[in-house]
Amino acid sequence: MVRGDITAEDVDVVVNAANPGLSGGGGVDGAIHAAAGAAELHAACRLLGGCAVGDAKLTPGFNLRARYIAHAVGPLWRGGDAGEAELLSSCYRRCLALADEVGARSIAFPAISTGVYGYPRRAAALVAVATLRATPAAVEVVRLVAFDDTTAALYRELLAAPAGS
């Protein structure tokens, strides 16, 4: 876990909290598009034809330090009874699978769905940590990047706890 700016991460794959159209937006998505080079990234995303909720697709990293960007589409929070946890977990698993497919050794994740999609931070952090601990992958470094102190504190707390607690 690190507190910082995901666009500055020196990893093989940076995960973008994307929308289904992969069209850019605010928050992490807007920051990644701006830092990577908006025109090039928009063009690459258009070729992918969108992305389903719970899935992820890869593009080059363009101007980022990362070689690739995994665009993960997390769920909108609808109160917790609409399959949100499984869809969010699926985002993390798909990103790890994509990283493995391209031989990545490191990946950095933002707090997917916790911005405008309204997923409660604690619930999202629980899903992220549990999924990353339970998902086998060849990736050697998995980094959770917190943009704010509240999310950083949640990650620290959850990562310090034994798995399964």
Q: Tens digit of pLDDT for each residue in 46-71? A: 999 999 999 999 999 999 999 999 99
Question: Catalytic annotation on 100?
Answer: no
- 162: pLDDT confidence band, cut at 50, 70 and 90? confident
**pLDDT above 70 as % of the chain:** 99
Q: State yes or no: pLDDT of 164 exceeds 90.
A: no
The residue type of 124 is A
Paired tokens of 18: 């994307």
Annotated catalytic residue within 5, 10, 12, 29: 29
Q: Domain spanning 2-160: which CATH class is it, in words?
A: alpha beta
CA dihedral 32, 109, 93, 83 (to 10 degrees): -80
SS3 14: strand
What distance in Å separates the CA atoms of residue 62 and residue 95, rounded to the nearest whole number?
Answer: 18
Burial of 8 (0-12, 13-18, 19+ CB in 10 A): middle
